[in-house]
Structure 1
Amino acid sequence: MQAAQCALRAPLGLSARAALRRPAAAAAVPRRAVLAGAAAPAVGMPACPPKVGQLSDEERKELAEQFGFRSIGKELPDNVTLQDIIKSMPPEVFELNPWKAWGAVAIAVSSFAFSLWLISVCPAPLLPFAWAFSGTAMTGWFVVGHDCGHRAFSKNKLVEDIVGTLMFMPLIYPFEPWRIKHNQHHAHTNKLVEDTAWHPVQKEVMDKWSPAERFLYKTFLGSPLKLWASIGHWWIWHFDLNKYTEAQKPRVLVSLAAVGLFMAVGWPLIVYYTGWWGLVKYWLMPWLGYHFWMSTFTVVHHTAPHIPFKPSEEWNAAKAQLSGTVHCDYPRWVEFLCFDINVHVPHHVMSKIPWYNLRAATDSLRKNWGEYMTECTFNWRMLKYIFTHCHVYDEEQNYVPFDFKKEEPFFAVQRKVLPENM
């Protein structure tokens, strides 16, 4: 998820905010972009300079500020391997702690139970706040199952399969199909076609869209609705048996049966005791909150104007996992309820690091490889680029927006009205 026409709308002396407010017709291609070899785009903001990782520290610092990041890393040398990075981390970050693992289960269950009580006593005007808390608590269930899927919960795989399946049931997320496809995402992070979590739209694919497809993709991938796009991903990737081998299908069917059981028993019980509004109030709205975080974490982890997706023949595992994954800080209560899933770079360097060791692993990576990492704090400026520009794959610029040929009102309005403060 990275940007297409990436942002440097004014000469170097102007602030990012003033630059973004200048009319497109009056915008000058910045000296920095010219030095980097970037061409002026057809619409929107000037293009992201190519080979950002090779710019000077000062240039990357200014780009980071304009894009909404704390830092943009240098390009990792070609001779560094993923194993080199893994071996640099202390061995204790790979160790499993059953007390912390099961403690997460207890926190996830109790925080979600508390959120349901909160929903039950909240006056109607305050329900959105209770739903936000509940959706965040529900995301903790996913993170526990996420560690199970990566074999980072227990030394017993059967225990991991059972816990993962149970934690995913209320989410209507089939554990085994998710595990298979998510591991493919880790094996092919930021690879142009093979990455199953996200990759930019290719121009030749976009040219084949019907009017209805064009409307749906532009609406849901080119606006703040992108922060719920995981619902489409959930449906497309995890319920189609044709996406799995014959050897995989028996375990896939068990996971599908588990979520089917929750739908067949859990939903009717909720309706019986609380009515149809209760199903919306106690399950659907928290579930939508959970998908907000699922989408947001995924988008922010893997979308930045300067981070390229690469075709398989050009892909480099070390660069994709260390430099192609974004560390983002969120409000501390979110990080607590979601078990530090936002501390994501070490998870991509080695997916078997349990959630409770991610911060120590990040400290190690910063010490040894920090100059190659991208970091940010969750902010609107970064999201604005993602919504309005990070859409279509471009070999030179990483991204161009859906309306790269001629600016369209749908995107022009967003570029004007979406907030751009950090």
Structure 2
Amino acid sequence: MQAQMRSASGVRAPVRTAKSGVLRAPVVAARPGVSAKAAAIQIPTNVGQLSKEERTKLAHDLGYRSIGAELPDNVSLTDIVKSMPPEVFELDHGKAWRACLTSIVAMAASLYLISVSPWYLLPIAWFIAGTAFTGFFVIGHDAAHRSFHKNNLVEDIVGSLFFAPLIYPFEPWRIKHNHHHAHTNKLVEDTAWHPVTEDQMAGWGETGGGAEKLFLGSPLKLWASIGHWWIWHFDLNKYTEKQKPRVMISLAVVYGFMLTAFPAMIYYLGAWGFVKFWLMPWLGYHFWMSTFTVVHHTAPHIPFKKAEDWNAAKAQLSGTVHCDYPEWVEFLTHDISWHVPHHVSSKIPWYNLRKATDSLRSNWGDYMTEAKFNWRMVKNICTECHVYDPKTNYKPFDFKKEEPLFAVQRAIIPDTPAF
């Protein structure tokens, strides 16, 4: 038996089958030749207008704890910022420097763990090291947002030094990341991530986008930030003449690290030592970099909007997902997963994100999406949320006809319940 819900506006919500517990009945009918599974998560774009009960059911079916109502059009981002207590914006240099010490000690300890781990425990050690490495990124991230220290020169130095082992040039990343904040969930403009368009797919040529589908339409998407890192941050042509001097300084820092640290590691530890102590933790860092980004900004019910339809308050508050991770992960990554207040105001330092989140929940919780990390959510993101659709937000790469790559994934990737 299938249950079907209808909102006050007459919009039918997706339903769940008794067999699998996942969405199988989209509001919009599947196109000819599209399998039921390929069309499984098509949902109405006006999810925020469904009743609370309908949104609660939909949240569970998609792997979320809650899905928010639509934020009223007359609410501005400034209104939301002003609702938070002033102390969440205050900088505490002691907490900022202690975070630096925490990440350095955690990274040193994880490298020691790698050195003493037998081969069969190395993946665990690498995963811990990659998580500790992510703490380096969060420190540089706060420095880039001017939420680390009251002195900008100190922030530039700290950001450059903590980004260097990640081979991230600080200034190019800062420029492009600020652009992401200014255009969050705006189609094409958002430099962090946006869905592929059908026009882009048409340009993939004879290969049919095989590589693109593999890396953006599978769990490999959880390492897609490596491509983003390479494409966006090393090409001087992507920056203005005014920006280039600072960009070149950041590139010099990164290349300086590579030309000194990498040869030294290979000389003293050998090629395997380089892989063991740097490359694998670096890949672990990119797992978190990609996972945090796609989970925060990709969800079947959260739309990407064209510029003329985009609303800053809705994009930053309702279009950013709060996701809980294990406490040890949140500790080593300095609470970067408490991400909604960071998008409401990037000036909030990491150590105030929890208090800021509590404030947002009190004042605006009815409009927020929250989740605990789970495979149902990840499965939808990796195998279904690919191509922009103005009616249903997303459709999978194989929206015309189910393809083997996606059929296999839909069959084998775990589909654990939300909670």
TM-score by length of 2: 0.94
Q: Counterpart in 1 of 2:8?
A: none
Asked whether 1:237 is paired with 2:227, we answer no
Q: Counterpart in 1 of 2:86?
A: 91
What is the CA deviation profile of residues 158-198 of structure 1, one whole-angstrom value per residue up to 9, with x for unaligned ones?
Answer: 00000000000000000000000000000000000110000
Structure-to-structure mapping, 1:18-417, within 5 angstroms: 18-20=18-20, 29=25, 33=27, 38-41=28-31, 42-43=34-35, 44=38, 45=40, 47-212=42-207, 214-417=209-412
For the 8 Å contact 1:73–1:374, the answer to whether it is kept is yes
For the 8 Å contact 1:192–1:200, the answer to whether it is kept is yes
Residue 19 of structure 1 and its aligned partner are, at CA, apart by 4.8
2:242 partner SS:
coil
Residue 375 of structure 1 and its aligned partner are, at CA, apart by 0.1
Aligned counterpart for 2:3 among listed residues 11, 22, 26: 11
2:388 partner SS:
strand
For the 8 Å contact 1:17–1:420, the answer to whether it is kept is no
1:294 partner SS:
helix
Deviates more, 1:10-19 or 1:40-49: 10-19
Structure 1: how far apart are the matches of 2:412 and 2:148? Answer: 44
What is the CA deviation profile of residues 23-60 of structure 1, one whole-angstrom value per residue up to 9, with x for unaligned ones?
Answer: x9xx6x36xx3xxxx33353321521230000000100
Which letter maps to 1:11?
Answer: A
Structure 2: how far apart are the matches of 1:412 and 1:11? Answer: 26
2:204 partner SS:
coil
Structure 2: how far apart are the matches of 1:50 and 1:159? Answer: 45
Structure 2: how far apart are the matches of 1:338 and 1:16? Answer: 36
For the 8 Å contact 1:164–1:175, the answer to whether it is kept is yes
What is the CA deviation profile of residues 122-166 of structure 1, one whole-angstrom value per residue up to 9, with x for unaligned ones?
Answer: 111101110000000000000000000000000000000000000
Which letter maps to 2:3?
Answer: P
Distance 1:195 1:201, change over 3 A: same
For the 8 Å contact 2:45–2:303, the answer to whether it is kept is no
Give 4+ residue runs of structure 1 displaced > 4 Å after superposition: 12-17
Residue 416 of structure 1 and its aligned partner are, at CA, apart by 1.0
What is the CA deviation profile of residues 366-395 of structure 1, one whole-angstrom value per residue up to 9, with x for unaligned ones?
Answer: 000000000000000001101111000000
Structure 2: how far apart are the matches of 1:373 and 1:50? Answer: 16
TM-score by length of 1: 0.93
For the 8 Å contact 1:40–1:46, the answer to whether it is kept is no
Structure 1: how far apart are the matches of 2:105 and 2:186? Answer: 38
Distance 1:97 1:53, change over 3 A: same
**Aligned sequence identity (%):** 67
Structure 1: how far apart are the matches of 2:374 and 2:16? Answer: 14
For the 8 Å contact 1:16–1:65, the answer to whether it is kept is no
Structure 1: how far apart are the matches of 2:337 and 2:129? Answer: 18
Which letter maps to 2:113?
Answer: L
Structure 2: how far apart are the matches of 1:119 and 1:12? Answer: 52
Gaps of 5+ in 1: 1-8
Residue 17 of structure 1 and its aligned partner are, at CA, apart by 7.2
Structure 2: how far apart are the matches of 1:260 and 1:40? Answer: 50
1:133 partner SS:
helix
Which letter maps to 1:163?
Answer: V
Structure 2: how far apart are the matches of 1:413 and 1:277? Answer: 34
Which letter maps to 1:49?
Answer: P
Distance 1:21 1:340, change over 3 A: closer
Distance 1:236 1:408, change over 3 A: same
RMSD of Structure 2 on Structure 1 (CA): 1.7
Structure 2: how far apart are the matches of 1:19 and 1:235? Answer: 43
Deviates more, 1:46-55 or 1:236-245: 46-55
Structure 2: how far apart are the matches of 1:139 and 1:70? Answer: 26
What is the CA deviation profile of residues 340-390 of structure 1, one whole-angstrom value per residue up to 9, with x for unaligned ones?
Answer: 000000000000100000000000000000000000000000011011110
Distance 1:303 1:10, change over 3 A: farther
Distance 1:46 1:278, change over 3 A: closer
1:339 partner SS:
coil
1:376 partner SS:
strand
Deviates more, 1:151-160 or 1:270-279: 270-279
Gaps of 5+ in 2: 6-13
